[in-house]
């Protein structure tokens, strides 16, 4: 399994660089000057909240891209958002202004926005384009160790803490419906953030709740130090039904003893997290963004060890909307597509 014990110094460095870069952009107002072959200035990369893996990796990519002067007239700056719909909207706003931008979001939100199926953003948005896979986020459904809940099926009639409007909420509701036949009316959703879910499990105000993160997830480790917990696992038949209906989702196997008190391997739902843009973002910019990821693996793994998951074999995972022209050029040159 991947370990995340010794990257705090690298993370702090990356975060400081991101903050300083962002401050510089506010001070001099140096905005990107359009797309085509003239991308220049500050190019935003919109991510979920600061401190999360997507933010950390994005800031690391930006640091490498900028310090190497990959495109001397371009500076990548990571901008934290509230995630989900806000990331989609900000990239689309830049598209409307004919300005380059990247977003990092769950494949589900990107794919459903493209097809007009995302409940938080109306209409189709077929100008969105895929760039690359970046990471994943696995949803660990936890209960108290002494709970009578042994399976997802036992969540019927129970109180479940879910982050409102999040990709985590979406994947858990989808798993319960498509895998286990539970409608939303079969359980009670308590809108909570992740810290509140941790607290709710401890004080018994909720029966279950998902904690998100790459394995091993810091949120899970934190809670396991404060409270005895168990994990729900997806059974084989239910896994098959869930994945057949939802191609932008996947599952992860978590080896036994990854977490305190976890005696058996468990299967948990997972989100592919991808980089996307819009069709008029500069081709050269997209090309070099991908090359920065794949050509600087040692440095990127120093930022966060989950970057080990990124390779030529995985770089196109989760890309279920049309590729950007710059991405298509890169992958064709590497022989990844014909």
The CATH superfamily of 137-271 is Periplasmic binding protein-like II (3.40.190.10)
CA dist., res. 2 & res. 97, Å (int): 41
pLDDT (0 to 100) of residue 19: 43
* Alpha carbon distance 42, 113 (integer Å): 25
Question: Worst-scoring range by mean pLDDT, 9-13, 40-44, 57-61, 143-147?
Answer: 9-13
3-class secondary structure for 206-264? CCEEEEEECCCCHHHHHHHHHCCEEECCCCHHHHHHHHHHCCCEEEEEECCCCCCCCCC
Query: At CA 227, angle to CA 221 and CA 233, rounded to 5?
Result: 65
- Quick: pLDDT tens for 208-254: 999 998 999 999 999 999 999 999 999 999 999 999 989 889 999 99
Give 278's strand partners. Answer: 128
Phi and psi at residue 200, to the nearest 5°? -65, -35
Average predicted confidence (pLDDT) for the chain:
89
| Cβ atoms of 106 and 118 closer than 8 Å | no
Look at phi and psi of residue 280 and say left if phi exceeds 0, alpha if psi is from -120 to 50, else beta.
alpha
Tell me whether domains 8-136+272-333 and 137-271 share a fold: yes
Q: Where are the domains of the chain?
A: 8-136+272-333, 137-271
Hey, what CATH topology would domain 8-136+272-333 get? D-Maltodextrin-Binding Protein; domain 2 (3.40.190)
Find the helix packing angle between 107-115 and 85-96, rounded to 10°: 50
Q: Is the predicted pLDDT of residue 89 greater than 60, yes or no?
A: yes
Report residue 332's pLDDT band, with 50, 70 and 90 as the boundaries: very high
Q: pLDDT for 118-167, tens place per residue?
A: 988 999 999 999 999 999 999 999 999 999 999 999 999 999 999 987 88
User: Whole-model pTM?
Assistant: 0.82
Q: List pLDDT tens digits, range 167-214.
A: 899 999 999 999 999 999 999 999 999 999 999 999 999 999 999 989
Q: Is residue 14 over pLDDT 90?
A: no
């Amino acid at each position: 399994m991947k370990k995340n014990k010794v990257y705090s110094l690298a993370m702090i460095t990356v975060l400081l660089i991101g903050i300083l870069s962002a401050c510089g952009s506010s001070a001099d107002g140096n905005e990107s000057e359009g797309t085509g072959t003239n991308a220049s200035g500050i190019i935003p990369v919109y991510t979920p909240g600061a401190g999360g893996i997507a933010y950390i990796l994005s800031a690391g990519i930006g640091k490498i891209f900028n310090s190497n002067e990959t495109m001397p007239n371009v500076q990548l700056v990571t901008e934290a958002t509230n995630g989900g719909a806000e990331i989609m909207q900000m990239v689309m706003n830049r598209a409307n202004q004919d300005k380059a931008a990247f977003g990092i979001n769950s494949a589900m939100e990107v794919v459903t926005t493209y097809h007009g199926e995302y409940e938080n953003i109306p209409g189709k948005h077929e100008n969105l384009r895929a760039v690359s896979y970046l990471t994943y986020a696995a949803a660990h459904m936890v209960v108290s160790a002494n709970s009578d809940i042994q399976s997802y099926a036992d969540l019927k009639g129970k109180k479940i803490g879910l982050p409102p409007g999040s990709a985590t909420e979406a994947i858990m509701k989808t798993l319960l419906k498509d895998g286990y036949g539970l409608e939303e009316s079969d359980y009670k959703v308590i809108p909570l953030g992740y810290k509140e879910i941790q607290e709710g499990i401890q004080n018994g105000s909720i029966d279950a709740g998902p904690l998100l993160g790459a394995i091993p997830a810091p949120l899970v480790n934190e809670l396991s130090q404060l409270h005895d917990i168990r994990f729900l696992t997806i059974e084989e038949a239910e896994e098959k039904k869930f994945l057949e209906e939802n191609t932008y989702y996947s599952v992860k196997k978590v080896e036994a003893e990854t977490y305190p008190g976890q005696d058996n391997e468990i299967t948990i739902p997972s989100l592919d997290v991808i980089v996307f843009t819009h069709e008029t973002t500069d081709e050269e910019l997209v090309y070099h963004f991908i090359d920065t990821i794949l050509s600087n693996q040692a440095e990127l793994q120093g930022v966060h060890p989950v970057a080990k998951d990124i390779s030529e074999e995985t770089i196109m995972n989760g890309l279920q909307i049309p590729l950007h022209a710059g991405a298509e050029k890169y992958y064709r040159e590497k022989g990844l597509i014909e």
